[in-house]
């Protein structure tokens, strides 16, 4: 996402690897920070637990670039790039009482405003 925002801020097309139909579970940094603070304060974690922090709702790179808006260009796909990635945040809910508060579309809008792209 950062690369796309940088490209847009420079007036460059966003480069999409392959067909852009690979999915990621984008999570706003504010939600990630909140999860980390809760983990630091919790007595239920800290024993080597791995906890996924994510929205549990993946979006394609094509959907992301469409929401950012602007020109795109397709480039060669990256070798070995996973087609689908989704975080299961049930453990974060159970152990930390955490769940994301910023949905994908609102997060993109916030990021665009921060980059002066709105």
Q: What is the DSSP string of 21-32?
A: --EE----HHHH
Check the CA dihedral 67-70-73-75 and report its sign. Answer: negative
Total structural domains within the chain: 1
Name the residue range of residue 31's domain: 2-77+85-102
What's the confidence (pLDDT) of residue 118? 73
Dihedral sign for Cα atoms in the order 78, 79, 83, 86: negative
Tell whether the model's pLDDT for residue 27 goes beyond 90.
yes
pLDDT, residue 20, reads 97
In a domain, 65, yes or no: yes
Whether this prediction's pTM lies above 0.75 is answered by yes
Say what the pLDDT of residue 40 is: 93
* Residue tagged 């579970």 (tokens): 25
pLDDT, mean of residues 54-78: 96
Give me the CATH number covering residue 28. 3.90.25.10
Contacts with 116 (C-beta within 8 Å, 6 or more apart), sequence order: 9
- Asked, for residue 57, whether it belongs to a domain, the answer is yes
Which 3 state secondary structure label does DSSP give 93? Answer: helix
């Amino acid at each position: 996402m950062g690369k796309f925002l940088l490209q847009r801020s420079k007036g460059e097309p966003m480069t999409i690897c392959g067909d852009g139909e690979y999915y990621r579970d984008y999570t706003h940094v504010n939600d990630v920070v909140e999860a980390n603070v809760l983990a630091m304060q919790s007595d239920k974690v800290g024993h080597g637990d791995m906890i996924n922090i994510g929205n549990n709702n993946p979006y394609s790179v094509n959907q992301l670039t469409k929401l950012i808006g602007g020109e795109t260009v397709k480039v060669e796909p990256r070798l070995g790039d996973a087609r689908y990635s989704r975080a299961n945040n049930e453990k974060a809910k159970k152990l930390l009482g955490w769940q994301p508060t910023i949905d994908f579309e609102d997060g993109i809008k916030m990021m665009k405003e921060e980059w002066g792209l709105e």
